[in-house]
Structures are given as C-alpha cells and as structure tokens.
Amino acid sequence: MLAYLECKHPLLIATDENTDIGKIAVENNFGTWSNSNDIDSICSSIDFFIKNPLKRKEMGQNGYDFLVKNYQVSNAYKSIFDKFN
C-alpha cells in the first residue's frame, strides 16, 4: 500500500469489514473500498477508476499527501515518543 501511495496511485481496496484501511482511504479520498465478498462493488470501483482519470489523479495526490503527513518515520517516532512523556 505504501508503495502505491508513494507513486501517487489511488487504492482499490477489497477487504473484510474488520479492516480499517478501506475506511481510512475513503475518508481521506485516496481510494475506494469494497467488501471482498461483493464482486459487484469491486467491479463498480474498477469502472469508476476507468471512467474518471482526473479523479484517479486527484485521489493519487491525496494518497501521497496522506502518506507524507501520516506514515513518515519521523511522525511515527514523535507519536511513540509522545506516549512516554
């Protein structure tokens, strides 16, 4: 996932409902989410990406921005260090 975000690719996520990354991607507008058992929803996500190249690009940039803001080592370090203070 991180490599896709780094390359500014939007995510097409198909997981069970117990995984939160789909919710995070949708809420931050860098991907779509479908239940992995819902083939129609997955196909709709694929169609969405095929038919909306500008939205794909926007979502890719959003994902990159999310990566930089939330998944950098320095951010993780600060978050962990703050717990001890």
- Every domain of the chain and the residues it spans: 2-84
Tokens of 80: 């962990």
Residues 67-74, mean pLDDT to the nearest whole number: 88
pLDDT band at 28 (very low <50, low <70, confident <90, very high): very high
Position 85 pLDDT exceeds 80: no
User: CA 15, 16, 22, 27: dihedral to nearest 10 degrees?
Assistant: 160
Q: Which of 3-12, 19-28, 49-58, 67-76 has the lowest mean pLDDT?
A: 67-76
Q: CA-to-CA distance for 6 and 72, rounded, in angstroms?
A: 11
Angle CA(42)–CA(53)–CA(20) in degrees, nearest 5?
40
Give 41 or 85, the one with higher predicted confidence: 41
Tokens of 83: 């717990």
Q: Is 29 left (phi over 0), alpha (psi -120 to 50) or beta?
A: left
